Every structure is written in structure tokens, then in C-alpha cells.
Amino acid sequence: GESVGLHLPTLSVQEGDNSIINCAYSNSASDYFIWYKQESGKGPQFIIDIRSNMDKRQGQRVTVLLNKTVKHLSLQIAATQPGDSAVYFCAENKAGNQFYFGTGTSLTVIP
């Protein structure tokens, strides 16, 4: 299927700093995007989503930005905490119920 890729496979940040995780998607027809957090030994956990008619959405300590012009998605985590250490995936909804995941970024928070 279409690829959803991430620019950086690993990211290390100091506790309290902000984190930015990026994702590039290739299907301009995709209309819905989700960010997931996956901790070791667990299933992916929904963080935040955004539809293609928006360019920004905020949650608690997280913000997703969507740039449709360059087909780029980013997840910003404010005041990163040790509990934020995990692998983060973006997922793209091409049509109906077809979701495709990006390669993932492993975030490590340094105390």
C-alpha cells in the first residue's frame, strides 16, 4: 500500500523539554490521520487524531500539525516526561477503514 514514513527512527530528549516527532505521508487523498503511542509489550494507544480539513489540533500536552501542501504530519509533546518514552507511530486512513502505519519513532526521555 501507500507508504507513511517517519524522518527519524530514534529521538532522545531531556525531561521537561518539548518533543517533535515527524511523519511524511504519500497519499494526498488520505483524509484522516492518527498518532499512536506503543509501549513495550502493549498494543498501540490512541494519542490524538486530525482530519484533513484541519491543520492543527491540540490535546492535553500534545499537538498535531498537518501540512497538506507537503504531506507532512508532526506530533508535538510539551514538557516531555519519562512516561512518554515509547515508540510513536503515525497512521494514515486512505479510505473507509484502511489504516496504514508509518515506520515509527522511538522516543527516549532522559531524566
Partner 1 sequence: DTEVTQTPKHLVMGMTNKKSLKCEQHMGHRAMYWYKQKAKKPPELMFVYSYEKLSINESVPSRFSPECPNSSLLNLHLHALQPEDSALYLCASSKPYSDEQYFGPGTRLTVT
Instruction: Return residues touching partner 1 (CB under 8 A).
Output: 1, 31-32, 34, 36, 41-46, 49, 51, 89, 93, 96-104
Shorter beta-carbon distance to partner 1: residue 5 or 16: 5
For the beta carbon of residue 43, count every other beta carbon within 10 angstroms: 7
> Closer CB to partner 1, residue 14 or residue 58?
58
Q: Does an H or E element contain 92, and which? A: strand 86-95
* Shortest CB 16 distance to partner 1, Å: 28
* Phi, psi dihedrals of residue 16, rounded to the nearest 5°: 95, -20
- Which CB, 96 or 111, lies closer to partner 1? 96
Taking CA atoms, 64 is separated from 42, 43, 45, 73, 110, in Å, by 23, 21, 16, 7, 23
The least CB distance from residue 99 to partner 1, in Å, is 6
